Structure 1
Amino acid sequence: MRSFQEWTLAELDRAFKLTVLDTSPVLEDWINGRQTEISSYEQQALRSFQSLLKTHVYDWNETELAYNFIGPLMTLVRFSTKEFNFFAERPLSAVVDKVEMTGRPDGIIASGFREPQQPYFCLQEYKKEKDPEGDPAAQVLAAMLVAQELNQHRLPVYGCYVKGEVWHFLTLEKRSYAISQGYLASRQADLDGIFSVLKRLKVIITAFTRKAGS
């Protein structure tokens, strides 16, 4: 058994014969697809969150970053529904290519109301901006491999890792993954982009759950 925290990207690539793509249609459709409208209320909330981030991001630890910025941002998207929800630090495990993998991602979006069932998205926020330890990209990719196994490889899996003020988005399909360039949440255009990507994710997951229920 290996926990998500024990992996590096290089080890995951070797162990599971993964290919990292320079570009991916799934990732491009997610981050550059149909634009979502940001309401005046949402804009006002984003500017408030951003002001707090700019003041404190270099001093926050991981929990403070989650409580003060990431959590409010996810709540603003309203991922919590009767069909799927945003869950924090729930156990996630599966056997992937004969390797038992387990961990508690900082966040997942999965079908289910009271407890997670089928995971679609994994999130890892990582320490504070200064002197981070470990490999947050590997941790979220390891969780995504488990989510893929639980999905029986029927759907692409989405992910994100946040290191201080920088956000990266990932997609995993079969044994190929892609990682977006970084979005700087302290920059207004980038924060609007992050929020739009998250809103498009809700549209994608809504389509998944409706198809599963039909």
Structure 2
Amino acid sequence: MTKSFETWEYEEVENTFGLKRVFELSALTEWLNSSKNNIDETMKLFLNGIQKRLIINADAWNEDEFKMFFIAPLLSQMPLEIDDFKPFTQRTLSAKFPELDLEVSGKIEFVIARGKQRPKQPYFFLHEYKQERRRENDPLGQLLISMVAARQNNEKKTPLFGCFVVGRDWFFVVLDQQTYSVSLACDATKNHELYQIVAMLSAMPAIIRRYF
């Protein structure tokens, strides 16, 4: 049986692959602690500009507009090319689970992985730029299944890091072996929470080097 990422809900991922959600996970706690890093004034000025757009348009933008006018400008300021890791967008990922007679596949919105032309060893996922009022799928379920698929293919079984976005709210996720944890929402329309989002994204180089 082949099943697309977009059809998965988080409970189905838990039941199919034996995952357990926990409220505390050391890898997520360490990542959240990176939000204590200071944001310089130049970055704050830039963030203020795109934040104003978000405040005005959060409930009106479609997914493409949200990506173009907020997500992409924000990511363009992040240090996401790390050694032989780089960002990829809209890439297909698939994985086979013979013991379950199951294959999963789908497109990843944004991933940091090894590789020059094709992503190998995916490590960080940014997934599902959903509008606030129009949510047809389960963004956590889709993020989790993409992480499970990547873990199946990866040679090195390290924790995987991800984030899903619903309108103004960002949720950070870590999958470590059979457990995963989800942060509280970070509201990008609030200054201190937007700075936390930026600090956590900026921490990815250090996190990747730690595990690789």
CA contact 1:156–1:172 (8 Å) conserved in 2: yes
CA contact 2:67–2:129 (8 Å) conserved in 1: no
1:151 alignment partner AA? N
Measure how far apart 1:95 and its partner are: 1.5
Structure 1 or 2: larger strand share?
Answer: 2
Aligned to 2:96: 95
Pick from 195, 199, 204: which aligns with 2:207? 204
Give the whole-Å Cα distance in 1 for the aligned partners of 2:74 and 2:116. 20
Moved more, 115-124 or 183-192: 115-124
Pick from 165, 171, 174: which aligns with 2:174? 171
Measure how far apart 1:34 and its partner are: 7.2
Q: Percent identity?
A: 32
SS in 1 for 2:90: coil
Aligned to 1:4: 5
Distance 1:59 1:37, change over 3 A: same
Pick from 195, 198, 205: which aligns with 1:195? 198
Task: With the length of structure 1 as denominator, give the TM-score of the two structures.
Answer: 0.92
Q: Which runs of 5+ in 1 are unaligned?
A: none
Count of aligned positions: 209
Aligned to 2:109: 106
Q: Which runs of 5+ in 2 are unaligned?
A: none
Measure how far apart 1:81 and its partner are: 5.0
CA contact 1:82–1:113 (8 Å) conserved in 2: no
Moved more, 74-83 or 197-206: 74-83
Aligned to 2:59: 58
Task: Spell out structure 1 runs of 4+ moving beyond 3 A.
Answer: none
How large is the Cα RMSD of the aligned pairs?
Answer: 1.6
Aligned to 1:184: 187
Give the whole-Å Cα distance in 2 for the aligned partners of 1:58 and 1:100. 36
Matched, 1:148 2:119: no
Measure how far apart 1:39 and its partner are: 2.1
